[in-house]
Chains A and B, each alone.
Chain A
Amino acid sequence: MSDLARAFLDSMLIENPVVMTFVGALLAAVLPRSARSSYTPALRYALALFLAGMVGGAIAAALPSVAAPAVYIVVGLLGVGSLLAVGELRGEWLGMPQAVLATAPLVGVQLLASTYGDFDLVVAAAGGSAIGFAVMFVLVGAIREASRISETTDTFKTNPVVLFSLAVFAIVFAGFLFW
């Protein structure tokens, strides 16, 4: 397996930003309401994560390490701004702007991608993270929707089901640790 393919698949599976490295766990656990309504947001978030990971990761890897945090936060905030511009992250969550939810994944993916060093590997890692996030975003939307319309009591609906389901996905992705 080439280094490029390895970086891409590692970032999508064993470093999945939702269930393995957690940086996108909150965003994916809270925002998607159903599978069908998650397709477009998932694509937008994936594109923002890919661009942030590629640009921020490449710049941070090329600059002295002392400048890296400034790069991460500037690129992260630009990513949040671009998501707001296309209509995502509108409204509030627990009294805060929903934009607060997106900063951790946008910065976290840059941090993860920059560890690969070479530009082509950073691009592959950013792409893998973005696709891994998008797939989990839609799947969580489907799980949340299914739990919401199920006939069980409210006790077991939505958040508990989503979190236990993410544990199961973590078991699945952990199976790729030894390839």
Chain B
Amino acid sequence: MVMDQSLRVERVVLLGMVTLLGATGDLATALAALVISAAAALVVYAAWALLRLSVSIPAAARWGALIAIGFAVSWALASVAPYLVPIRDGAMLFLRIAGLMPIVYYAAGDGASGRDVLVSWAQFTVLVAGAGAVREFFGRGTLLGYLPGGSFTIRAGFLASPVGAFLLIATVVLAARIVSSALGTSNEAAGGTDE
């Protein structure tokens, strides 16, 4: 059970990699990205459920329609997000394309059961919120834009940069690998094309 979870963490990191890298510079943006991704996934899943009733639609057209729907949802919600939470200028790009991430389409694919999709989304939620909190707290010294409890932190500015984004998710993947290795499982099906 724990072995499966650790391998799934690596898959989830890959499925939502661009959102995890780009939209986790601060916690507010990360939560906004999470809501947008989840909304896009729900709409895409509903559209997939409708489209699969029609057997005459070719797979390419069906996937093209799903991708367009996912992008439309994320673009529309990203336009509203700055009115609700403070969004850094550079992060708008990642909110707008959040609907194009593979995790949004995971439930519409062939390889995942309903339980697998739900657990993957739970892990994605923890990863995005956790990465946003860690990168903002240690990279900027704040949490949701405020100094938490009057605490004092020495900012590690690189955590708020692309370097910190890659280091954080690489550490998560390596930790998942170490756990699965310690428990004696292989790294197959973790998302690489050559593993």
Contacts and interface: CB of A to CB of B under 8 A. Distances in A.
A in complex with B: yes
Interface of A: 19-23, 25-26, 29-31, 33, 69, 72-73, 76-77, 80-81, 84, 92-97, 99-101, 103-104, 107-108, 111-112, 144, 148, 153-160, 163-164, 166-167, 170-171, 173-174
B28 to A, nearest CB: 19
Contact of A163 (B72, B110, B170): B170
A73 B166 contact: no
Contact of A164 (B22, B162, B166, B191): B166
Given A21-B22, A33-B194, A100 B167 contact: no
A96 B62 CA distance: 12
A160 B22 CA distance: 18
26 contacts: A21-B22, A25-B17, A31-B193, A69-B72, A73-B71, A73-B72, A76-B71, A77-B64, A92-B110, A92-B111, A94-B14, A94-B15, A94-B191, A95-B111, A96-B111, A101-B102, A108-B93, A111-B93, A111-B96, A155-B181, A156-B177, A159-B190, A159-B195, A160-B170, A163-B166, A164-B167
Nearest to A148: B194
B68 to A, nearest CB: 5
Could you tell me the dominant secondary structure of chain B's interface residues? helix
A166 B192 contact: no
A107 B177 contact: no
A170 B163 contact: yes
Interface in B135-153: none
Could you tell me the dominant secondary structure of chain A's interface residues? helix
Contacts, number: 158
B192 A158 contact: yes
Contacts of B110: 92, 95-96
Contacts of B177: 154-156, 159-160
Given A94-B15, A158-B194, A166-B166, A25 B101 contact: no
A22 B177 CA distance: 23
B42 interface: no
B178 A155 contact: yes
B35 interface: no
A69 B99 CA distance: 12
Given A73-B71, A77-B68, 19 more contacts: A22-B94, A22-B165, A23-B22, A26-B17, A31-B193, A77-B67, A92-B111, A94-B11, A94-B191, A104-B100, A107-B100, A154-B187, A158-B187, A158-B192, A159-B195, A160-B173, A160-B177, A163-B170, A167-B166
Contact of B102 (A23, A29, A94, A111): A94
Nearest to A95: B111
Contacts of B97: 23, 104, 107-108, 111
Contacts of B47: none
A156 B177 CA distance: 8
Contacts of A21: 22, 93
Contacts of B60: 81, 84
A103 B72 contact: no
A110 to B, nearest CB: 10
A71 to B, nearest CB: 12
